[in-house]
């Protein structure tokens, strides 16, 4: 036994040493890396007349990224800079009054990361940038290939510049849902659907080969609302009418740099070195220096965070980030686990220092059971302290379910919400199995003992049982919305039907109280709790402070050591075929994450992607 332990231990040590040698990093180097991360607590320094650099490829999330996932991405070479929306907003607000910061430089040379944030998130950042610009400081944006998302954010700048060999895509919004029914049919997989709501498009990819008229109508209406907001917002900054932007979209679509300048979408056509020279002059940087005086926004956010952390109070406002699909149980990183989030709200309800709660929802929904588990704890919490909801990019179906019992709901005009409807899907692989020589037989003690089996289609009587369950949950959903929003149930039934709405329209029909972002929701919560200025934020779910400090700061250094261009993940490619593969992967992941114990779901159409 002793030899076995010795050999096992030696093997383990050998494996670890081999890993470090193979990866090109020694044990000493590893500990130096840890030490470097820990010793960097002195923090970044800001030079006088510096530009705050905001790389638009930064991934913006609501909650703090999972530290383990960050390390995994770093080791695989797929790490992208990540920041929370809260950090970005705080950094921009501090920079607005910081005499050492003279402007913001929006670096859109590799702006593909902006696609990860939805328009509601970009709206909040854009408003913060506008406030910064209106203080008299300068905002400069430079890009190569502008898309609508990157340009939506960057058009707020005083000066917008594009590379001479770049371009701009202004052609409107589109959505191309992927349908799996033909593939399932080809492989012999059958799917039977039970649902309520003529607009519940979540099931259509499994049973149809194209959009139903109802689903086409709701997506068209949603896109019209979002595109209208885009044209109004961008047009105001660029002193253009919405119709002028529509004409460009309909007649140009893709603009060359000179065309973009002629159409007043950009101010200058310039190479990057020319931009650097201009920013050197603006920041009073010696011409011999390699670049202008600057500080990255993620580094500056550390300064902003330390400044805000000085605001100490026993009164806490808890911000809970419900980001991702809603699943039963604890859920993984990037998911809203019913059990885990219910526990968070129970603790916050019992914590006397927490005076109010802001629930930030960025979820397409998911498990009806998990949604109800969370919603119950939110209702109980509201009975003892204010609960305010801030809707992010998406707060639909189960994401709306958990919001209805709050004191007030805030959304951006381009938030995707509603989708009040439920469905269940029952697949069967009988034909697929039979075609490959697999058969089943059954022995049971009751007529419905094998209900829900995937080995055969469900009978009409079995489907009726499932339909009754879906109807019951749908009616409960309607009751919750009617009571929580103080609306007649008949009106809720009319605007429900699984239909998706923009935040602007949702406010008009009573599903949302106020147009505003996360900051507005926090301020309202403080007012409701009568806290004045005597409060401090706490964010949930909480992350380990050590793992945050180590993984967050060391990830880019680790990436540099382990990354090899030859091993670049194919999923990082922006090739059109790869983009479609990513969509398929996302659809499959959505199916895999369906774990409701009753098999009933309140979820947005599988993956509503706006391009």
pLDDT of residue 206: 85
Structure tokens, 186? 């080809």
305 has a pLDDT exceeding 80:
no
Contact 214, 439 (CB under 8 A): no
534 is catalytic: no
DSSP string, 445-496: SSTTTTTT-SSSPPPHHHHHHHHHHHHHHHHHHHHHHHHHHT--HHHHHHH-
Of 609, 603, 611, 610, residue with least CA distance to 201: 603
321 has a pLDDT exceeding 70:
yes
Element spanning 163, H or E: strand 159-170
Element spanning 326, H or E: strand 325-327
Q: How large is the average pLDDT for residues 98-121? A: 85
CATH architecture designation of domain 45-171+253-311+544-564: Alpha-Beta Complex (3.90)
Q: Could you give the CA distance from residue 324 to residue 363 in angstroms, rounded to a whole number?
A: 5
pLDDT band with cut points at 50, 70 and 90 for residue 338: very high
Which residue among 64, 94, 137, 200 is the active-site one?
200
pLDDT band with cut points at 50, 70 and 90 for residue 318: very high
- Other Cβ atoms within 10 Å of 240 Cβ, number: 18
Which residue among 155, 371, 390, 397 is the active-site one?
397
292 has a pLDDT exceeding 80:
yes
Which pTM value belongs to this model? 0.81
CA distances from 380 to 329, 384, 386, 452, 475 (A): 20, 7, 11, 34, 21
pLDDT of residue 400: 95
Contact 251, 145 (CB under 8 A): no
Q: Could you give the CA distance from residue 210 to residue 194 in angstroms, rounded to a whole number?
A: 19
pLDDT band with cut points at 50, 70 and 90 for residue 600: low
pLDDT band with cut points at 50, 70 and 90 for residue 78: low
pLDDT band with cut points at 50, 70 and 90 for residue 584: low
Q: Could you give the CA distance from residue 303 to residue 43 in angstroms, rounded to a whole number?
A: 7
pLDDT of residue 553: 43
Higher pLDDT, 64 or 188: 188
pLDDT of residue 45: 83
CA distances from 375 to 240, 327, 328, 346 (A): 44, 13, 13, 11
Contact 58, 82 (CB under 8 A): yes
200 is catalytic: yes
pLDDT of residue 13: 41
Q: What is the SS3 assignment for 85-154?
A: HHHHHHHHHHHHHCCCEEEEEEEECCHHHHHHCCHHHHHHHHHHHHHHHHCCCEEEEEEEEECHHHHHHH
Structure tokens, 297? 């926004």
- Cross-strand partners of 326: 336, 366
Structure tokens, 40? 């960097």
Pair type for strands 601-603 and 365-367:
antiparallel
pLDDT band with cut points at 50, 70 and 90 for residue 592: low
Which stretch, 18-22, 227-231, 495-499, has highest mean pLDDT? 227-231
């Amino acid at each position: 036994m002793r030899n076995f332990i010795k050999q096992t231990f030696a093997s383990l040590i050998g494996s670890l040493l081999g890993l470090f040698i193979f990866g090109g990093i020694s044990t000493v180097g590893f500990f130096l890396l840890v030490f470097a991360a820990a010793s960097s607590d002195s923090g970044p320094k800001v030079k006088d007349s510096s530009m705050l650099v905001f790389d638009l490829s930064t991934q913006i999330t609501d909650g703090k990224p999972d530290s383990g996932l960050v390390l995994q991405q770093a080791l695989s070479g797929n790490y992208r800079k990540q920041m929370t929306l809260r950090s970005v907003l705080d950094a921009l607000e501090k920079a607005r009054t910081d005499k050492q910061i003279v402007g913001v430089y929006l670096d859109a040379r590799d702006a593909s990361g902006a696609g990860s944030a939805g328009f509601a998130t970009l709206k909040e950042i854009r408003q913060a940038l506008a406030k910064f610009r209106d203080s008299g400081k300068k905002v400069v944006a430079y890009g190569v290939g502008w898309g609508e998302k990157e340009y939506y954010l960057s058009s707020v700048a005083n000066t917008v510049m594009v590379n001479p060999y770049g371009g701009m895509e202004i052609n409107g919004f589109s959505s191309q849902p992927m349908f799996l029914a033909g593939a399932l049919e080809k492989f012999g997989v059958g799917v039977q659907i039970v649902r309520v709501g003529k607009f519940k498009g979540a099931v259509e990819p499994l049973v149809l080969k194209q959009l139903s008229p109802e689903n086409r109508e709701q997506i068209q209406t949603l896109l019209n609302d979002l595109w209208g907001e885009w044209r109004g917002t961008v047009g105001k900054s660029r002193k253009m009418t919405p119709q002028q932007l529509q004409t460009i979209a309909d007649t140009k679509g893709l603009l060359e740099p000179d065309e973009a300048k002629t159409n007043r979408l950009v101010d200058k056509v310039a190479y990057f070195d020319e931009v650097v020279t201009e920013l050197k002059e603006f920041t009073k940087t010696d011409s011999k220096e390699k670049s202008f005086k600057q500080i990255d926004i993620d580094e500056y956010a550390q300064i902003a965070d330390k400044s805000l952390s000085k605001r100490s109070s026993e009164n806490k406002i808890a911000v809970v980030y419900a980001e991702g699909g809603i699943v039963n149980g604890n859920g993984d990183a990037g998911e809203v686990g019913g059990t885990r989030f219910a526990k968070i709200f129970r603790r916050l309800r019992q914590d006397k220092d927490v005076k109010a709660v802001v629930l930030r929802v960025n979820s397409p929904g998911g498990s009806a059971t998990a949604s109800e588990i969370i919603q119950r704890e939110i209702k109980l919490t509201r009975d003892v302290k204010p609960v305010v909801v801030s809707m992010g990019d998406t707060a639909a179906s189960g994401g709306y379910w958990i919001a209805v019992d709050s004191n007030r709901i805030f959304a951006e005009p381009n938030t995707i919400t509603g989708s009040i409807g439920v469905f269940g899907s029952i697949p069967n692989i009988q034909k697929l199995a039979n075609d490959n020589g697999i058969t089943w037989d059954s022995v049971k003690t009751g007529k419905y003992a094998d209900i829900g089996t995937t080995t055969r289609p469900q009978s009409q009587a079995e489907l009726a049982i499932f339909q009754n369950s879906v109807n019951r949950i749908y009616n409960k959903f309607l009751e919750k919305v009617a009571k929580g929003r103080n609306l007649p149930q008949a009106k809720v039934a009319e605007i429900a039907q699984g239909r998706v709405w923009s935040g602007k329209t949702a406010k008009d029909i009573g599903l949302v109280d106020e147009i505003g972002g996360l900051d507005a929701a926090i301020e309202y919560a403080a007012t409701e709790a009568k806290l004045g200025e005597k409060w401090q934020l706490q964010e949930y779910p909480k992350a380990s402070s050590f793992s945050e400090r180590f993984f967050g700061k060391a990830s880019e250094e680790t990436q540099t050591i382990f990354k090899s261009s030859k091993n670049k993940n194919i999923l990082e490619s922006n090739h059109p075929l790869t983009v479609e593969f990513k969509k398929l992967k996302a659809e499959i992941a959505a199916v895999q994450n369906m774990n409701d114990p009753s098999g009933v779901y309140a979820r947005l159409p599988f993956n509503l992607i706006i391009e």
